[in-house]
A and B are shown apart, each in its own frame.
Chain A
Amino acid sequence: MSRQGTRKPLSLKRLKNQFFNLVGNPFNMVVFISLVALVALIVLPLLQMLKETVTLSRSELRRVDGQVGDFTLYYWKYLLSSQMTGAVLWQPLSHSLVTGFFTALISVPLGSILAWMMVRSDLPHKKAISMLVIIPYMIPSWTKALSWLAIFRNQRSGALGLLAGMGVAVPDFVAYGPIAIVLVMTLHYYAFSYIMVSGSLRSVNSELEEMAEIQGANKRQILKSITLPLVLPAVLSATIMTLSKSIGSYGVAANLGNRIGYFTLATKMKEFINGTGNTGVGYAMSLLLILLASGTIIANQRMVGTRKSYETMGGKGTRHSPIPLGKAKTPLMGFIVLFLFVAMVIPMFVLVMESFQVTTGGGYGLNNLTLYNYIGVRDFANQNIHYPGIFRNPEFSKALWNTVKLTVVASILTAFSGQFLGYISSRGRGRWFGKVTEQLVFVPYLMPGVAFSAIYFAMFSQPHLGGLIPSLYGTFALIVLVSVVKHFPFASRAGTANMLQIGVELEEAADLAGASFWRRMRSIIIPLAKQGFISGFMLVFISIAKELDLIVILMTPNNRTLSYLAFTYSKDGMAQMADAISICVLLFILVCYRIANHFGADIGKSWG
């Protein structure tokens, strides 16, 4: 009896049959094509960027001997050991680490405590509150930065904020820089801890705690020796996630830091890539950023074990008896109200109000309120106003159209690819191609959005491989591509979960009935996957609609989105119009959220 590995007699017939078995099976072809696509979309751009960091480009010819295209360590040397290293590496890096560290330090306890109260305590109106608690997360982080500016802006920006307008002297270190960045990011990234820890708490059966109670442990002992250890992995994962996300965050840091020259790795990198021409250094920084962000996530996975940090830990329907808060109920309720006030009500209020103001910081008196920012007609007598109200501004309508187009096209493509990749991973469980697909698809998750678009910038800013890979810079297609691929991890997770629900036997039954691969797809898989497809689609939709970090490097005047327009206007000192645009984005997101909820999508599953 021959072992599995034993060679069969080599015959032409056997080779021919093997070839047709391989090629004649559409599933194999589909796997092959998707693996090629994944390599082309994820691995190649990364390698390309790596190559760019060691290839001499035209702009450095003046400083370096050699020809364009020569191998050079100039960029790495510039970054790692030149007199510029302090300014271009150590300072931004330390800023990134400091803001990331403090963001995690505040937002993890905040999110965890909120989670505990929502899952385990007997707080009244828990259902309604737990809906509200997640809303601040729906507000894009860069919008929150605009709200912050609306309150704290001082003379440095020209236009005053709410406080400065009331005569309060707001020092720079409050209005801009690390404190502002940390606080604004906290009001966004608390959601990671909230979602992860509440998922983990939900999976802890309260019988475990009741058992300890029967053994005579008091509430504090139970919390310390039963509950905490059980949710500790989730807390740890949330910490790492927050750290990695905030280190790589661009929008908040750029809005609140750039004006006073407070750069993080992410914002400095963007300056290099889009700005002064020394893109090689920017790419090198972007690689560092990727190493930093992915390093933390991978280290976490090693420590915590599985990819729990990435999945929401879906709790089984275990039993929960709420823990009475007793006297602490009122203060804790107050805490939540305060949180919602600070994270949701105030930012929204000042943003909306400022969008109606004639002069920012001029108070909310009727004489200072106007609809100009929305519907005003440009008055050529007043040279201070460069733009009409946004609804009359062609830039706005163009950006609106771009945003809608981008979100619709990209999320359809993403959701579709997600289901497709999910199909391959689920059917390839335990096979090599399933594992490879899962690993490759996971890679974009490890990269901060701004770094991810940097690698696409490197890949597509000029043609490669003799035009086989065209230059897509400045095209809408590139923005779509980067949005789609960046959302692969999330979308294919959703797709895998969806496909795993569709038993393989349902397909095999059709196979036996003589249905071809494509027929099985059409008659069995697609009808059964529809529901999951729609909810996956809605979640990606929201994430893409509010995206700024991911596209900021790739923006050209022709394909600006609303997020980017708001960012630009704010930078150019047109705060009211930036606010008005963000409000439009927010409304767009809220409407989508409502629709997504209607389709049963769980917003907690959408990271971004």
Chain B
Amino acid sequence: MSRIELIHIDKYFGDNHVLKDLNLTIEDGDFMTLLGPSGCGKTTTLRVISGLEKPQNGRLLIDGHEVINADTAYFEEPGKRGLNLVFQSYALWPHMTVYDNVAFGLKIRKLHHAEVEEQVMKSLTLMRIQELSKRYPNELSGGQQQRVAIARAIASNPKLLLLDEPLSNLDAKLRIDMRAELKRLHRDMGTTIIYVTHDQVEALTMSTRIALFKAGVLSQVDTPMALYMNPIDLTAADFIGNPRINFLHGTAHAESAGLSATCGLGTFAYKKSHLTGEEIPKGEFSCVFGIRPEQVLIETQPEEGLVEADVYASQPAGSETLVTLIAGKQELLSKQLGLIDYEMNQKVYLRLNPDKFNIYNKETGNLIKYAV
């Protein structure tokens, strides 16, 4: 239960500038996910927060209490920050039993013997592994090790729990189970969680807020819904969503009422209230439409307002069907619920909601029109 403020954090490894002027506030009780491709500095951010790395610039406040101040070279010891970290590798001590692994931190805090036992059993029970307490880490499966690692981290009731790609070593099914488990854990404990992943599905399904990283720079901080609906730039839009968002190239120009934009699907007019406030170039300029595949609905009969298209290929996958379409010489992916089979080259008609489109300035890559 705590509020974390990262203020102008810079971290260098030698000449490698890994975190670039990072500013991020994590509210009390948030499930904040740091999302971004591999190598963008997520782990480094966690390690800075936990105290395992010292940034060259910036400050870190936990509940208003200064934990890092690079200007005065003040760095509070990791063990005193009231947080705990689950490593990607789990980092379970191989020479200690599950019980001893979980109890270690409590013993360091010189808790009474009975208290240690109570806390350990409590967190083992919470992770539903109480029967494993006598085993050694190498006698456990990956999923069990994962639970031990989390149990160890929560045993000391940290105010802040840091998780570094905790699910990346698990197989697909376990991963979905553990996601649910972690969501419950967050609710039951009420702890602030910072969760690192490169998997956008994990981020979207679990977080209350997502911080999107791009090469050491924070590009967007938003709720999962907002991030999904309105990625702030083309890179973010490309990264978020599976299947990928459709990018259609077109042109646009400012109008007194707002914006007019044209692509292979037609010409669309938008009110000022739909615009982001991002500066709009004078005259006609190149833009990119971002259209989510599930926003492209397919009808087999023509109707007023529908856009004609040809089926290029269709991929029925049980609960959903992905259809690649050609409309106005541009390729477009559509996601339909349920099992529907389309013929190749079949003529179909697309029902679109232009208000749900994102429009980006092609040159800057920035979002100029919200989806509403």
- What per-residue 1/0 map shows which CB atoms of A484-516 lie under 8 Å from chain B? 000000000000000000010110111111110
A506 to B57, CA, bound (A): 27
Residues on B with C-beta less than 8 A from A1 are 10, 20-21, 57
- From DSSP, what is the main secondary structure of chain A's interface residues? helix
Residues on B with C-beta less than 8 A from A511 are 51-52, 78-79
B277 at the A/B interface (Cβ < 8 Å)? no
Q: Assess whether B95 is in contact with A528, with CB atoms less than 8 Å apart.
A: yes
A439 at the A/B interface (Cβ < 8 Å)? no
Residues on A with C-beta less than 8 A from B93 are 506, 509-510, 524, 528
Q: Assess whether A515 is in contact with B104, with CB atoms less than 8 Å apart.
A: yes
What is the minimal beta-carbon distance from A528 to any residue of chain B, in angstroms?
6
Q: Assess whether A505 is in contact with B89, with CB atoms less than 8 Å apart.
A: yes
Which residue, of B12, B17, B105, B109, has the highest number of chain A Cβ atoms within 10 A? B105
Q: Assess whether B73 is in contact with A14, with CB atoms less than 8 Å apart.
A: yes
Which of A4-12, A122-130, A381-389 lies at the interface? A4-12
Taking a contact as CB atoms closer than 8 A, the residue among B71, B91, B156 that contacts A506 in the complex is B91
Residues on A with C-beta less than 8 A from B156 are 513
Q: Assess whether B108 is in contact with A513, with CB atoms less than 8 Å apart.
A: yes
B80 at the A/B interface (Cβ < 8 Å)? yes
B366 at the A/B interface (Cβ < 8 Å)? no
- What per-residue 1/0 map shows which CB atoms of A506-537 lie under 8 Å from chain B? 10111111110001000110011000000000
B302 at the A/B interface (Cβ < 8 Å)? no
Q: Assess whether A513 is in contact with B105, with CB atoms less than 8 Å apart.
A: yes
A2 at the A/B interface (Cβ < 8 Å)? yes
B327 at the A/B interface (Cβ < 8 Å)? no
A558 at the A/B interface (Cβ < 8 Å)? no
Q: Assess whether B73 is in contact with A509, with CB atoms less than 8 Å apart.
A: no
A17 at the A/B interface (Cβ < 8 Å)? yes
What is the minimal beta-carbon distance from B191 to any residue of chain A, in angstroms?
15
Residues on B with C-beta less than 8 A from A13 are 72, 74
Residues on B with C-beta less than 8 A from A4 are 10, 12, 15, 17, 56
Q: Kindly report which residue of chain B lies nearest to residue A505, judged by CB atoms.
A: B91
Residues on A with C-beta less than 8 A from B71 are 8-9, 11, 14
Q: Assess whether B95 is in contact with A512, with CB atoms less than 8 Å apart.
A: no
Q: Assess whether B104 is in contact with A510, with CB atoms less than 8 Å apart.
A: yes
Taking a contact as CB atoms closer than 8 A, the residue among B50, B73, B94 that contacts A512 in the complex is B50
A9 to B69, CA, bound (A): 13
Q: Assess whether B108 is in contact with A503, with CB atoms less than 8 Å apart.
A: no
Our count of residue pairs bridging A and B at CB distance below 8 angstroms stands at: 86
Range, interface on chain B: 35 or more
Which residue, of B20, B80, B104, B156, has the highest number of chain A Cβ atoms within 10 A? B104
B285 at the A/B interface (Cβ < 8 Å)? no
A18 at the A/B interface (Cβ < 8 Å)? yes
Q: Assess whether B87 is in contact with A505, with CB atoms less than 8 Å apart.
A: yes
- What per-residue 1/0 map shows which CB atoms of A551-566 lie under 8 Å from chain B? 0000000000000000
Residues on A with C-beta less than 8 A from B78 are 508, 511-512, 514
A4 to B72, CA, bound (A): 15
B358 at the A/B interface (Cβ < 8 Å)? no
A1 to B51, CA, bound (A): 22
A67 at the A/B interface (Cβ < 8 Å)? no
Range, interface on chain A: 20 to 34
Which residue, of B12, B21, B71, has the highest number of chain A Cβ atoms within 10 A? B71
A21 at the A/B interface (Cβ < 8 Å)? yes
- From DSSP, what is the main secondary structure of chain B's interface residues? mixed
Q: Assess whether B52 is in contact with A515, with CB atoms less than 8 Å apart.
A: no
What is the minimal beta-carbon distance from B155 to any residue of chain A, in angstroms?
9
Taking a contact as CB atoms closer than 8 A, the residue among A8, A18, A505, A515 that contacts B108 in the complex is A515
Q: Assess whether B83 is in contact with A512, with CB atoms less than 8 Å apart.
A: yes
Taking a contact as CB atoms closer than 8 A, the residue among A9, A508, A523 that contacts B104 in the complex is A523
What is the minimal beta-carbon distance from A433 to any residue of chain B, in angstroms?
15
What is the minimal beta-carbon distance from A505 to any residue of chain B, in angstroms?
4
A508 to B52, CA, bound (A): 7
A528 to B94, CA, bound (A): 8
B312 at the A/B interface (Cβ < 8 Å)? no
A511 to B51, CA, bound (A): 9
A587 to B344, CA, bound (A): 85
Residues on B with C-beta less than 8 A from A515 are 79, 104-105, 108
What is the minimal beta-carbon distance from B338 to any residue of chain A, in angstroms?
46
B236 at the A/B interface (Cβ < 8 Å)? no
A509 to B71, CA, bound (A): 27
Q: Kindly report which residue of chain A lies nearest to residue B15, judged by CB atoms.
A: A4
Q: Assess whether A512 is in contact with B10, with CB atoms less than 8 Å apart.
A: no
Q: Assess whether A512 is in contact with B21, with CB atoms less than 8 Å apart.
A: no
Residues on B with C-beta less than 8 A from A14 are 71-73
- What per-residue 1/0 map shows which CB atoms of B92-128 lie under 8 Å from chain A? 0111000000001100110000000000000000000
Taking a contact as CB atoms closer than 8 A, the residue among A11, A514, A524 that contacts B109 in the complex is A514
- What per-residue 1/0 map shows which CB atoms of A259-300 lie under 8 Å from chain B? 000000000000000000000000000000000000000000
A21 to B83, CA, bound (A): 21
Residues on B with C-beta less than 8 A from A503 are 89, 91
B84 at the A/B interface (Cβ < 8 Å)? yes
What is the minimal beta-carbon distance from A92 to any residue of chain B, in angstroms?
49
B228 at the A/B interface (Cβ < 8 Å)? no
Residues on A with C-beta less than 8 A from B73 are 8, 14, 17-18, 21
B85 at the A/B interface (Cβ < 8 Å)? yes
A4 to B58, CA, bound (A): 12
Which residue, of A2, A13, A514, has the highest number of chain B Cβ atoms within 10 A? A514
Residues on B with C-beta less than 8 A from A523 are 104
Taking a contact as CB atoms closer than 8 A, the residue among B75, B84, B87 that contacts A21 in the complex is B75
Q: Assess whether B104 is in contact with A513, with CB atoms less than 8 Å apart.
A: yes
Residues on B with C-beta less than 8 A from A17 are 72-75
Residues on B with C-beta less than 8 A from A506 are 91, 93-94
B265 at the A/B interface (Cβ < 8 Å)? no
What is the minimal beta-carbon distance from B34 to any residue of chain A, in angstroms?
18
Q: Pick 11 A–B contacts, CB within 8 A, sort by A.
A: A9-B71, A11-B71, A14-B71, A505-B89, A509-B87, A512-B83, A512-B105, A513-B105, A514-B80, A514-B108, A523-B104
Q: Which A residues lie at the B interface, using CB under 8 A?
A: 1-2, 4, 8-9, 11, 13-14, 17-18, 21, 503, 505-506, 508-515, 519, 523-524, 527-528
Minimum-distance CB pairs A-B, first 10 = A514-B79, A513-B105, A505-B91, A17-B73, A4-B12, A509-B91, A18-B73, A514-B108, A14-B72, A527-B95
